[in-house]
Every structure is written in C-alpha cells, then in structure tokens.
C-alpha cells in the first residue's frame, strides 16, 4: 500500500502542525462507481487554518488524533469511476469542503446550510483535508476548473464563499419586492474581502473596500484595479465614509473582527442587508450602542445575514465570476496569490508565512507540478 505525506495538526494542541502519513486512497472507496481520484497540485491556507493551528477551532476525524489540514484545493484528475461523467482524467478540479449530515438541507445538496450542530468539513472539522498528495471523493463534490483559469487555482474555494455570501444577500432581499442596490461597503481586504469586491463590481455596484493599511499597498492596488475604492481605516472610519458618500445598501463583513461586524451595523442604509462571513474562534467581547442600533434597524427594516461555506453551485457561480473577472479586469485577480511554498516537507514555512508575515495576502503550497 502506498503511503503519502500530509500536513496535519493535533486539534486542541496549539501550534501542533506536523507531517503525518496517510494511505493513498482509491476510487473504489466511493460507492456506485462515483469515485474521483485527484492528484493534488496546490492547496491554499487561510485564517481558518491559522485558527485550527492555534487550537481555537477544528476537530480530528473519529479514530484519529490528528487532522490533515487544507480546504482550498486545486488538482488534476487521475482516475474516475464508471458513473462519473462531468470530469475525466487530465481535467483540473477543485473540491467542495462540507459533506452532508442528516438534515433536510443535507439531503437536497445544501449541506452549506445544514441545520445540524455538527458539520463535516474537509480539513476543518471531522474530515481530513487536501494538504496531501492525493484524495478521492464523490463526483458530487468535485468541481471542474476551466483550463484557462488554472493560474487562479486555490482561489476557487474562497471565491465560492464570496459568491454564496452575495447570492444569499440578493435572495434574502427579495423580501423587499424591489431591491436595486447601488452602493456596497466591504469591510476587510483579505481574500474574501477582495473576491467579494470583485463579485459586487461585476454586478455593477459602487464598492468601498476597507482595510487597515494606508495606500499605496498591494491590497489598494487590487481594489482600485477592480474599479472599487480603497479606504484605510487609519485615515477614515466607516462612519466618515458613510457621511461622505451615503449609507450603503449592502455591507459584507470579512475582517475577522467581531467588533467591526457590529460597528458596521451603525452605518447600513434603510432596507439594507449586512452579511457576516468571518469565522471568529476567539472569546472577545465588545460594547455596542445597542439602543441606537436596535432603533435604527427597526426603523430601517434592515437585515443581518450570516453566510458560511458553499455548495457546488456556489463554486460554479464563483468560477464563472472568476472568468468574467479575468476579461473585465485582466491580470488583477492573480495578484492575490502572493506567497507560494514549494513541497509538502516545507510545511513549517507555510505556517510561518500564514502566522507571521503581515504582507502575505495569500499563502499556498505547491504540492506537485502540473
Ligand atoms: C471555509 C469554509 C468553511 C468555514 C467554516 C472557511 O474558512 O472556507 O468552507 O465552511 O471556514 O469552517
Ligand atoms: Zn477558508
């Protein structure tokens, strides 16, 4: 039996990242001929991986004392079972993260909105991730990446979350019968903030994207490259900008700071929607002007929406937007992909960049060439 290297942590034990070993999987492990064997090429890491390595988040699969990391995957199909029609050997693919539990939503292909407390996510919770050499999965979860988007590889998964967050906002706003948003604020300019900026620009909104650092810097270059406005919170607050340009119809919060999530509630416009996307595994608490927010939200019929994860349809929508983004803002999106690390055995460098390098916008591992 073939062994493969994998990058893993011991959940609950801070900074326990290490090299683990897994047995190479085979397509027959997936029933009904629906298996897809994928050779892993690249895997991205994000704030969720950092929180998992800090032991704030994540659990090992039953029967294991380690969890293989990696939920942002890009690979090439090596072998498919007889029932698999939508991908073939040689195709580039990414893979969804969450697997179904037992709720009604899980049974209709919407595990991203499972109503069960327990959720199963590859590389995050109760299932091993993709930061290894090969994986197999059911065809349902393997999503084809067009060859022309190969250079955007690990962005497919974060893009799926951005696409879902915006789509959910539009779906929810059907409550208003007419909703024609013009102005959006995106708080945070990590990968989710930047990709959300792209999704909103492609829908014709004027977008203000907030970050801590003062321009010029890479984030500002990407935001302006997408035809949006970059605002450094060192220079202007959300309130300052709302006073200047008006209250936004839509806020997408993606800073990773729960304080900002509440701060943004003070500036949303009437009939607006605020979407929260940050995973905040810590224990921070802040004071908020609750009477004022409560009053404004009631008088303005405002909506607060949480959005997590993405199913294959959100991946497909996100990939379509990446393609449109490439022809609309050529060469901008790939600037997010700042820090490759080559070779699984260099996992310490991967985590060091993720944890320590404040300029590393996107850290990812090149597991194999292809
Ligand atoms: C992942 C999502 C996941 C969420 C919560 C994010 O980093 O990209 O797929 O649902 O973490 O675990
Ligand atoms: Zn993620």
Please tell me the distance between residue 191's alpha carbon and the centre of ligand 2 in angstroms. 9
- Give the pLDDT confidence of 121-151 residue by residue, as tens digits: 999 999 999 999 999 999 999 999 999 999 9
The predicted structure's pLDDT at residue 352: 98
Structural domains of the chain sorted by starting position, each given as residue range(s) with its CATH number in brackets: 3-145+338-366 (3.90.180.10), 160-306 (3.40.50.720)
The predicted structure's pLDDT at residue 282: 82
Pairing of strands 183-187, 250-253: parallel
Instruction: Tell me the best of 56, 113, 161 to mutate to test the pocket of ligand 1, counting ligand atoms within 8 Å of each CB and taking the most.
Output: 161
Band the pLDDT of 201: cuts 50, 70, 90. Answer: very high
Q: Which protein residue's CA is at the shortest distance from atom 7 of ligand 1?
A: 48
Q: Respond yes or no on whether the N-terminal peptide bond of residue 216 is cis (omega within 30° of 0).
A: yes
Least confident interval from 59-63, 280-284, 337-341, 364-368? 280-284
Please tell me the distance between residue 338's alpha carbon and the centre of ligand 1 in angstroms. 21
Q: Which protein residue's CA is at the shortest distance from atom 3 of ligand 1?
A: 309
- Give the pLDDT confidence of 155-196 residue by residue, as tens digits: 999 999 999 999 999 999 999 999 999 999 999 999 999 999
Instruction: Tell me the best of 51, 72, 97, 363 to mutate to test the pocket of ligand 1, counting ligand atoms within 8 Å of each CB and taking the most.
Output: 97
Q: Tell me which DSSP letter residue 169 carries.
A: H
The predicted structure's pLDDT at residue 1: 67
Please tell me the distance between residue 300's alpha carbon and the centre of ligand 2 in angstroms. 32
Residue 86 has phi, psi (to 5 degrees) of -85, -10
Crossing angle of helices 191-202 and 312-328, in 10° steps, is 70
Band the pLDDT of 370: cuts 50, 70, 90. Answer: confident
- Give the pLDDT confidence of 70-105 residue by residue, as tens digits: 999 999 999 999 999 999 999 999 999 999 999 999
- For range 8-24, the mean pLDDT: 97
Please tell me the distance between residue 123's alpha carbon and the centre of ligand 2 in angstroms. 10
Residue 309 has phi, psi (to 5 degrees) of 60, -175
Q: Which residues line ligand 1 (CB under 6 A)?
A: 46, 48, 71, 97-98, 121, 124, 157, 161, 279, 308-309
Q: What are the residue ranges of helices labelled H in 203-277?
A: 218-225, 238-245, 258-263
In the numeric block, the tokens 């011991």 are attached to: 10
pLDDT beyond 90 at 324: yes
The predicted structure's pLDDT at residue 281: 82
Which pair of structure tokens corresponds to residue 363?
Answer: 């850290």
pLDDT beyond 70 at 14: yes
């Amino acid at each position: 039996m073939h062994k493969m290297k994998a990058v893993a942590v011991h959940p609950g034990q801070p900074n326990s990242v290490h090299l683990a070993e897994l047995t190479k999987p085979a397509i027959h492990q997936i029933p009904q001929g629906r298996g897809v064997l994928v050779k892993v090429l690249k895997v991205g890491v994000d704030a969720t991986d950092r929180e998992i390595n800090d032991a704030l988040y994540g659990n090992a699969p039953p029967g294991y004392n380690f969890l293989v990391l990696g939920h942002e995957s890009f690979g090439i199909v090596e072998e498919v079972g007889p029932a698999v029609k939508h991908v073939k050997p040689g195709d580039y693919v990414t893979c969804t993260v969450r697997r179904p539990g037992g709720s009604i939503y899980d049974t209709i292909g919407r595990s991203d909105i499972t109503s069960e407390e327990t959720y199963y996510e590859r590389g995050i919770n109760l299932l091993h991730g993709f930061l290894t050499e090969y994986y197999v999965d059911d065809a349902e979860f393997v999503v084809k990446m067009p060859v022309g988007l190969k250079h955007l590889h690990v962005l497919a998964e974060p893009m799926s979350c951005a696409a879902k967050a915006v789509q959910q906002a539009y779906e929810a706003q059907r409550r208003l019968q007419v909703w024609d948003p013009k102005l959006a604020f995106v708080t945070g300019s990590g990968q989710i903030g930047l990709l959300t900026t792209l999704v909103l620009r492609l829908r014709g909104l004027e977008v203000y994207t907030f970050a801590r650092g003062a321009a010029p810097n890479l984030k500002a270059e990407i935001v302006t490259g997408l035809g949006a406005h970059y605002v450094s919170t060192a220079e202007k607050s959300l309130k300052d900008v709302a006073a200047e340009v008006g209250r936004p119809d839509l806020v997408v919060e993606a800073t990773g700071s729960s304080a900002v999530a509440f701060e943004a509630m003070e500036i949303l416009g009437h009939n607006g929607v605020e979407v929260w996307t940050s995973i905040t595994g810590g224990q921070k608490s802040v004071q908020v002007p609750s009477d004022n927010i409560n009053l404004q939200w009631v008088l303005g019929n405002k909506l607060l929406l949480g959005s997590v994860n993405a199913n294959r349809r959100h991946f497909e929508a996100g990939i379509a937007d990446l393609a449109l983004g490439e022809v609309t803002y050529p060469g901008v999106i790939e600037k997010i992909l700042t820090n490759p690390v080559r070779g699984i055995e260099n996992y310490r460098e991967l985590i060091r960049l993720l944890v320590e390098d404040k300029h590393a916008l996107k850290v990812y591992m090149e597991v194999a060439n292809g």
